[in-house]
Amino acid sequence: MNTAKFIPEILSPAGNLDKLMTACRYGADAVYVGGPRYGLRSGAENFSDEELRTGVEFAHSRGVKLYLTLNAFLHEADLEGLATYASFLEELKVDALIVSDPGVMDVLSKACDIPLHVSTQATVLNSSEAKLWKDLGATRIITGRELSLEEGADLCTGSGMEVEMFVMGAMCSAFSGHCTISNYTAGRDSNRGGCKQSCRFDFQIEGTEGSRALMSSKDLNGLEHLGTACELGIHSLKIEGRMKSSLYVAGATKAFREAIDAICQEREVPARCHEQLTMFSNRGYTEASLGSGTADEGSIAGDGSGAGPKFAWAGQVIGVSTDHAWVQLKNPLLPSEALEAITFEGENQIVETKHLEDYEGNSLEKGRQESVLRFPRGVLEEGMILRKLESE
């Protein structure tokens, strides 16, 4: 499987239809979304059946694959209706289903021919277990986040299955799927969409002063390891964050797209790829296990090395005419504030804001959050994200 020019798939999160379109426009090869049931992100907006249909059509029209998460651990009654839902998903031409429950996988493998991927929630850490899932009909393993890229490649070779590994975003510090803190302390099933993120709380250790985020993992940033991932032939590199904003989806997807393209063309990864990832709010970045296979002390956020967002999200282009672009603001905007368009490719571009206009072209003193403003077209394209250049 190891080829010199192997180009891994970039798999981006899509918490709703807008984010899906954003991921597609900024260079994702595939997106993963949640339906209204059977997933782990009850807090995400998730896709209604109709939105899913639209999402699949949009993604496929751009050559992007769409994977649907069905990765909750289901109780007996929850299985009801799953086979019917699978037939519906097959009719939509969803490209793969992400599953962690072997009972769910069994139902799906009999109800449809959609490829089945084993979720990281199943914590598959070795090729022998991967082979068992293969016997159940799975085609890809999304490995536990405890593995190094090298181990992921060995698992791939040993099992003959595709391998997908997380390279960016928030992480459980526990083995994924093994944590039930929310179940017992809050009556919320963490493995059926109700995780309360208790591991992010500050804890006080008996006999010590003060408290700190003892269990909270830093956020994963594997940009430095992309060259290794390409060399090892890891099939898919996943960005976490269905609950995060379109600004994050755009920035992270673009950074990984540009970096992978540069590596595969034997160019240096542009510095802006690294800079792009530092603009998001984060708990401090760690490579976790990707390099050595062992997350060290620096992978825990208790040292307070996290950072708030460096740039505010200004808005998103929601429509364009020949001469103008209409931008829906995500934050209030003053004429004096400098804006930058996160372009779909290449260097970002400054956008002139000395004069603000409402969506009908009337002058404005300031733009309110969620209002729509008209800008000169310039470099702006539908779906493009704008951020404020000044720090929040």
Residue type, 377: R
Interaction between residue 228 and other proteins (CB under 8 A): no
Smaller CB separation from other proteins, 124 or 168: 124
**Contact between 372 and 362 (Cβ < 8 Å):** no
The least distance separating other proteins from the CB of residue 5, rounded to whole angstroms, comes to 25
* 84 counts as binding other proteins under rule CB under 8 A: no
Amino acid present at 162 = E
Interaction between residue 251 and other proteins (CB under 8 A)? no
Q: Does 363 bind other proteins (CB under 8 A)?
A: no
DSSP letters of 69-93?
A: EE-SPPPGGGGTTHHHHHHHHHHHT
**Residues 162-191, interacting with other proteins (CB under 8 A):** 173-175, 177-181, 183-185, 187-189, 191
Q: Does 139 bind other proteins (CB under 8 A)?
A: no
Interface residue with other proteins, options 227, 293, 306, 335 (CB under 8 A) = 293
What distance in Å separates the CA atoms of residue 278 and residue 359, rounded to the nearest whole number? 33
Tokens 């928030």 -> residue: 170
Q: Is beta strand 219-221 parallel, antiparallel or unpaired with respect to 162-169?
A: antiparallel
**Which residue's CB is nearer to other proteins, number 130 or number 273?**
130
Site for other proteins in 204-223 (CB under 8 A): 204-208, 211, 214-215
From candidates 265, 336, 362, 363, binder to other proteins by CB under 8 A? 362
Is the Cβ of residue 280 or residue 313 nearer to other proteins in the bound state? 313
Number of residues that bind other proteins (CB under 8 A): 96
Interface with other proteins, residue 107, by CB under 8 A: yes
Q: Show the tokens assigned to 52.
A: 């899913």
Structure tokens at 332: 């209030």
- Residues 20 to 79 in contact with other proteins, rule: CB under 8 A: 36-37, 39, 42, 46, 48, 54, 73-76, 78-79
Q: What are phi and psi of 322, to 5 degrees?
A: -60, -40
Helices 82-92 and 49-61: crossing angle in degrees, nearest 10, is 30
The structure tokens listed for 272 are: 């802006």
